[in-house]
Chain A
């Protein structure tokens, strides 16, 4: 059954609020999604009923808190098709999850001249950790270029992967919306003897995720873009990789034993979760996973494809050559992220004018400056959609856009 955004909006308390006296038109879910009532309730419920520290108390509350945390881990594992719960490492966000791989697997396995391959459409979170390893360990960073249609240019893939140790790619571009051929890339990486990491931050919230089907070795994503709280992200990795990787941060929780001479690490995944974890946030993420499962991820994706198609048609029909929408033109090949340029007006100014109509879009480089350079612009406006958006939101965007003319078009 198709999603009904009007009903879904009732689940999201923030949708009741008005901005500048108008209905909120939230088109920035690629930055962060809103939170449905069950997620907010789960976090509140955790603090009100069983708040205590995990994995150390023997009293009832602590047992319940620990169970809640581990239950959330199990829900996430099931949601992405992990074969074991222990393959789910909780991190602060996707950025931390990627850094975890760079700092542990990368430090242990990469040396001078070892190639790591990324693409021109990556978010800074999947660029800067590798730049840091370039500076610290002399790895070689290689870039898969993009074509003008927003897809990766895989012409030279074999050459780029020659000798590579890791291929790390966003499953969906946070700027162009491009859905990358992850399975094909993973197979090519493995054939070349490299591991495959997927930045699924813009994928997991919107499409059914199956890490085995992706063929990945590492998958990173964040909770707050998929209806969950901020401060909770996930690294999934194959068990044997996690077992072999050195620990990330040192401290409580991640140890088996500590003496004056040294320490030994706890079992996976706790080895990578030093300190008190974000318990309430993990519980909230578990509730978010339940919520999305209830909607049905197939239906979530169908809704996105339909709404993206409507948005592309509406904006192109109405504005023709006055609007440039970057990325693939086929809704089936992209996520619901529309980066656009309107009549050469600077995106900051566009976003400012849209705000007057309570239309929330992001303006800027979207943490993808190398991609901006390839696109030949310093910034874009970006409208991104989710389960609570419908055609009326797209219409509101299209209407409000024309208001910019009064200020900027002579």
Chain B
């Protein structure tokens, strides 16, 4: 079996123990979205505040395992201050790292394959791929953030 050390890298455990951007934003003006993993009951709540196409602020809450919490924390840190276009490229790059085929409905720009994107701390989640059941734990917050951004844009 793959080593558990590949899954529980120190940087992941650090984000789990000391999550960045955990909390709430007033919604409105922020947009709130909930994501569920029906398999395990994990719930993530993402609050996002957009300003001129930029993620001005982001917070997350909910309950989940170390992978889902660390992934939420890392995601919030990397997307803050980015444009929504960059977010979609990051999302695509992250999903690709998780061995998930690009969604044909992905609103990411055609030139945004994501290959040139630096994932930073998120790279530490690469080991999750060796534990296929946990991939959903890692991607839940991303699905939820994309949903929140789409809702924010739809109501803008």
| B-binding residues in A (CB < 8 A) | 20, 346-349, 352-353, 355-356, 363-365, 369, 372, 378-379, 407-408, 410
Contacts and interface: CB of A to CB of B under 8 A. Distances in A.
Contacts of B66: 346, 348-349, 407-408
24 contacts: A20-B1, A346-B64, A346-B66, A347-B65, A348-B40, A348-B42, A348-B64, A348-B65, A348-B67, A348-B137, A349-B8, A349-B66, A352-B4, A352-B7, A353-B4, A364-B39, A365-B40, A378-B41, A378-B42, A378-B64, A379-B41, A379-B63, A407-B4, A407-B13
Given A348-B67, A356-B4, A365 B131 contact: no
Nearest to A378: B63
A321 to B, nearest CB: 21
B65 A349 contact: yes
Interface residues on chain B, size class: 20 to 34
B118 interface: no
B137 A410 contact: no
Contacts of B8: 349, 407
Contact of A363 (B40, B43, B63): B40
Nearest to A350: B65
Contacts of A355: 1
Interface in B28-60: 39-43
Nearest 7 A-B pairs (CB), nearest first?
Answer: A365-B41, A348-B65, A346-B65, A378-B63, A364-B40, A20-B1, A407-B8
Chain A: interface secondary structure? helix
A349 B66 CA distance: 7
Contacts of A379: 40-42, 63
B41 A408 contact: no
Most buried by A among B1, B41, B67, B134: B41
Interface of B: 1, 4, 7-8, 13, 16-17, 39-43, 63-67, 69, 131, 134, 137
Contacts of B39: 364
A282 B91 CA distance: 48
Contacts of A372: 41
A408 B13 contact: yes
Given A378-B63, A408-B66, A352 B41 contact: no
A204 to B, nearest CB: 26
Given A20-B1, A346-B65, A407-B13, A352 B131 contact: yes
A390 B131 CA distance: 29
A346 B69 CA distance: 10
B94 to A, nearest CB: 20
> Could you say which of B4, B13, B69, B131 has the most chain A C-beta atoms within 10 Å of its C-beta?
B4
Contact of B41 (A349, A356, A364, A407): A364
Contacts of A363: 40
Contacts of B67: 348-349
Nearest to B12: A407
A356 B2 CA distance: 9
Contact of A378 (B17, B43, B134): B43
Contacts of B65: 346-349
B13 A356 contact: no
Most chain B CB within 10 A, of A347, A348, A355, A408, is at: A348
A372 B4 CA distance: 28
Nearest to B69: A346
Contacts of A407: 4, 8, 13, 66
